[in-house]
Amino acid sequence: MFASLQEGNKIYIRLFNEIDKQDSYDEKKIKEKFKDEKFIKQLSFTKNYLYKLIFKSLLNYNHEVSIDSKISEMILRCKILFSKALYRQYFKTLKSVTELADKYERYGYLIQILEMGKLVKKKDELKNSPYDEYYSAAMETLEKIKNNFEYSKLLAYTFNIARDKGKIRNPVQLEELEEILNLEHSQTGKKIITKRAEETYFHLKSLISEVSGDYESKLENLKQRYNIVLENPEPFEDNILNYKADILSEMITVCIKLQKFEETECYLKKFEDIQKPDSNDEAAVFVPAFSRLLISISKKDFKNVTGTINLLEKALIDYKDKIDISFELEVHFNIIKAYMLSGDFNNALIKMNYFFSHPLLHVRSDLECFARIMNLIIHYELNNIALLEHLIVSTYRYLYKRNKIFKIESLLLNFLRKTTLITNESELTEHLAILRNSLLKLKQDNFEKNAFEYFDFALWIEDKG
């Protein structure tokens, strides 16, 4: 439709249609298809023109629904009105765009708008010197921007800790977490002046609750986030992040961990309801499928798990390079976990080898550390004793260098090391019983219990009778 407004030979439409037919871009086929056309000698120029035209059409298509587009257009309109000396309309438009930017918390635009407001004054304002008013408004806006960034900075800092170190496993990590809360108090004084900052504050609290292993608290903080977005939709509209979908997906995962399956289904329904019918959003595919996988693991019901895994693996291929790396690794990790807990160690090994080959595995070093322990269990179950002896040594070195050897890791490494030397069935049964009792005790430990969030080692032992 957009191209129909253009004049002349529309070779770029033919080029677009040909590219659209391809599953992946193949320039050789394009050149072969259009080898008799004049434009093929300037293919780069035509591609660039097509690229720009696609963006123009997308901008035009999304113009009416985009708050940022509306504000940008009104700012441009103000500039045109000012250049034409149409000051009455200029002031009217300036007032409208100021209210719009403030309502939707687009404070970056608001600074620009306030600067424009100083260029010319209404006649009735000349006597009163409005400069103080503009200065105060600008300083207030900057304070709001600062407020948003202070909380965003703390959230990003906490995310880095969570992805690198994972759940709290000792008092030192707890102190580091408490320092974040102290930092939040000292830097911001808990002064929340925007709805975006308020949402980020509860996001921070929910993440800290997760790292602490307190999922009841995390769920309450997620509900606070959700209510803020529902009751104050404007600041969260037309953002790169779909706040409602993001919060609901977390609520679903937490409810599964807490085995609140009725609530899980309720939030899944809400999540599906906010998806557009023609949505090509990867979350629309991943969240329901990943939730079903987590439910299977939580309920220890693996009847239909293969179908769920196949759906997830297809989605991983279809949405390659569009998925958040941390989430992608978490999906792979839980697929391995599902195969292990269902007793399918051959498939678990295949998936584990693929997991270790991921080029960005370091992004989730917490998952990698537990995956290495789980890899030992897989080889133990498959009776790969010769390889297991080597892997125990390399795993110990890896964990030691990263200060990741806690009570559970030590217990499992010692058990697996001993089993490589055991040939007597009764002796093995005795060691399994000792390991089972020790793991059950650690499951009650305030710090060690968080390790079972990654993989339930006690359940693995229970399944061995």
Last residue of a domain, one of 211, 237, 263: 237
Q: What is the pLDDT of residues 287-333, one digit of tens each?
A: 999 999 999 999 999 988 999 999 999 999 988 888 889 999 999 99
pLDDT at residue 126 in the model: 47
What pLDDT, in 10s, does the model give residues 342-366?
999 999 999 999 999 999 999 999 9
Does 152 fall in a domain? yes
Residue 216 binned pLDDT confidence (cut-offs 50, 70, 90) = very high
Q: What is the pLDDT of residue 396?
A: 96
Residue 196 and residue 251: Cα distance in Å, rounded? 19
Does some domain include residue 422?
yes
From 177, 209, 237, give the residue that closes a domain. 237
| Portion of the chain with pLDDT greater than 70, in percent | 91
In percent, the amount of the chain with pLDDT more than 90 equals: 52
The answer to the question of residue 288 being in a domain is no
Instruction: For the chain, give the mean pLDDT.
Output: 87
The answer, yes or no, to whether residue 7 has pLDDT greater than 70, is no
**Overall domain count for the chain:** 3
Same domain for 465 and 372, yes or no, is: yes
Q: List Cβ neighbours of 274 (8 Å cut-off, separation of 6 or more).
A: 242, 244, 245, 248
**408 and 442 Cβ atoms separated by less than 8 Å:** yes
Residue 225 has pLDDT above 60, yes or no: yes
Instruction: For residue 275, name the pLDDT band (cuts at 50, 70, 90).
Output: confident
Is-above-0.85 flag for pTM? no
Q: Is residue 212 part of a domain?
A: yes
Higher pLDDT, 465 or 255: 255
Range of the domain at 29: 3-62
Confidence grade of residue 188 (pLDDT, cut at 50, 70, 90)? very low
Q: What is the pLDDT of residue 444?
A: 92
29 occurs within a structural domain: yes
Of the residues 237, 260, 279, which one is the last residue of a structural domain?
A: 237
In a domain, 353, yes or no: no
Residue 47 lies in a domain: yes
Min mean pLDDT across 56-65, 153-162, 329-338 is at 56-65
Q: Does the pLDDT of residue 198 top 50, yes or no? A: yes
SS (H, E, C) the chain: CCHHHCCCCCHHHHHHHHHHHCCCCCHHHHHHHCCCCHHHHHHHHHHHHHHHHHHHHHHHHHCCCCHHHHHHHHHHHHHHHHHCCCHHHHHHHHHHHHHHHHHCCCHHHHHHHHHHHCCCCCHHHCCCCCHHHHHHHHHHHHHHHHHHHHHHHHHHHHHHHHHHHCCCCCHHHHHHHHHHHHHHHHHHCCCCCCHHHHHHHHHHHHHHHHHHCCHHHHHHHHHHHHHHHHHCCHHHCCCCCCHHHHHHHHHHHHHHHCCCHHHHHHHHHHHHHCCCCCCCCHHHHHHHHHHHHHHHHHHCCCCCHHHHHHHHHHHHHHCCCCCCHHHHHHHHHHHHHHHHHCCCHHHHHHHHHHHHCCCCHHHHHHHHHHHHHHHHHHHHHCCCHHHHHHHHHHHHHHHHHCCCCCHHHHHHHHHHHHHCCCCCHHHHHHHHHHHHHHHHHHCCCCCHHHHHHCCCHHHHHHHCC
pLDDT, tens only, 88-138: 899 999 999 999 999 999 999 999 998 888 776 655 554 555 567 778 888
- Residue 129's pLDDT is 56
Summarize pLDDT for 368-393 with one digit per residue, the tens.
999 999 999 999 999 998 899 999 99
Q: Is the pLDDT reported for residue 286 higher than 60?
A: yes
Q: Is the pLDDT of residue 42 over 90?
A: no
Average pLDDT over residues 1-10: 65
